[in-house]
Chains A and B, each alone.
Chain A
């Protein structure tokens, strides 16, 4: 391709990306624009600009929705559960993928089962009670970890194959222990997959509102996702505050995703194979 052709093709690609992003953004514009209106303006949910920009909607939403405490809760649950998840899942996926004994093949499918298992909340409460985990922050963190295991292990299992076995042998010859082998050699090469799983787990936990309803009985322990229900009325709701709340709840995940994408760097295996 000539330089010109390359430039044109890049411009076209950029254009396509921008158009698509634009289309995807429209509903968000509706949310953002309406979060700055008065309650009655916001009920219309159209793209007209607010008569006056009501920035105070955000502070009202934060105050009435107790968003500061719940922000900390959301962060605690999402970050901790994601970190434990990654460690636990990557180790399991590694062994299950590399060492395909009958037992391990069964265990893998057993874990996969979880992707389809329906959660039964009533049974869940009972089990958590017995384990003295009900209504504790530890409990919900462990619960989130457990629920993410099928999903995380499944993704990581697939990507373990992209890391060549020769590296393991090399590591063994160099005298590495299993943990060293895994964390120093294999884990770094799984980075794209690990970061992706981390992002998706983080988002899934951040957005969840069902589990806190059932296993956390204090609003001081609740995450951000439940605050929005404060603004619904029986017949008319405070849409402007609802939208402001949504913007505030979604923003952290957006930022985390944006930053996380920078961590996905490719083409790392090049040196290792030849060497």
Chain B
């Protein structure tokens, strides 16, 4: 069949081989552990069925607030990143002078380890001695000098801001790749028809960016549901437990040595993310009718 001559199945073998051997197998073993009493204290592992899961859902209500925080973070952080990233990508794809430099700078925060980000931003956002508030005070805008990471009203917005600072460049990079896959003549045709910025955006750019949008959504959603490092390092779930999310709770369980429960939380999260992502991807991948 022609398909075999053009798209031979063996093209997929290397990827599948490596993936199954070094990724699937270890992870599934890990998931198996969530059904056991595996913990720091004993080296024998007993199969305990759904005990760990029951523990999660019945124990002192806190978990629900972690789950709520996780969802809230996922939705808001994505809005805050994806929309600006799209406009930035467009801005930086028009052959502006120094375009590559701008792209690199905006992407740069993604390179930093989260530890460093935590150090720097906790310092910058310090209410008394931090840079941000000092700038506000020197401009006479004293009322703007908030306790960014410790005031319940401002802690989440601060987290979103830092997360956006770090993540917009990454999202933008993917959009840039997407923009460069759109054939120029579409825009040329639209220009001839006298179309302005908004119609071009809505009728050409966004539809043709479907792959890039899917990618950013899937990454963004899985990142949001799985978020750990940025929150851990900025607030550690605080003040109190106000910014605690699922994975900071998992980390806590691991610290206490009850690995089984920790892995169970991870597994629930994984199944949930899997479900959402699959639905999303199938929706987006319904074959587009040829243009």
Contact = CB atoms under 8 A, between A and B. Distances in A.
Contacts of B214: 158
A99 B7 contact: yes
Interface stretch (A50-58, A72-80, A251-259): A251-259
Interface stretch (B46-54, B66-74, B93-101, B137-145): B93-101
B19 interface: yes
Interface in B85-110: 88, 91-94, 96-110
- Which bucket holds chain B's interface residue count? 35 or more
Nearest to A265: B180
Contacts of A199: 173
- Which bucket holds chain A's interface residue count? 35 or more
B248 interface: no
A7 interface: no
Interface string A140-175: 001101110110011100110110000011011000
B184 A91 contact: no
Nearest to B278: A109
B6 A246 contact: no
B91 A107 contact: no
A267 B184 contact: yes
Nearest to B162: A27
B27 interface: yes
A149 B15 contact: yes
Contact of B27 (A123, A162, A206): A123
B12 A91 contact: yes
A264 B27 CA distance: 35
A31 B120 contact: yes
Contacts, number: 265
B12 A92 contact: yes
B12 A13 contact: no
Given A24-B105, A172-B5, A203-B110, A92 B22 contact: no
B14 interface: yes
Given A14-B96, A30-B123, A116-B226, A209 B27 contact: no
Interface in B115-136: 116-117, 119-121, 123-124, 129, 131
Interface in B5-28: 5-9, 11-12, 14-16, 18-19, 21-27
Contacts of B219: 115
Contacts of B94: 13
B103 A192 contact: no
A250 B277 contact: no
B142 to A, nearest CB: 19
A182 interface: yes
A222 interface: no
B215 A182 contact: no
Given A95-B8, A258-B101, A270 B184 contact: yes
B106 A13 contact: no
Contact of A270 (B97, B179, B183): B183
A162 B93 CA distance: 18
A261 B180 CA distance: 11
A66 to B, nearest CB: 18
A240 interface: no
Interface in A1-52: 10, 13-14, 16-18, 20-21, 24-28, 30-31, 44-47
Contacts of A264: 176-177, 180
A131 B102 CA distance: 44
A193 B18 contact: no
Contacts of A92: 11-12, 14-16
17 contacts: A13-B96, A17-B102, A21-B102, A24-B109, A30-B120, A45-B123, A98-B6, A124-B22, A126-B26, A147-B23, A149-B15, A149-B19, A182-B11, A192-B178, A246-B113, A257-B111, A270-B185
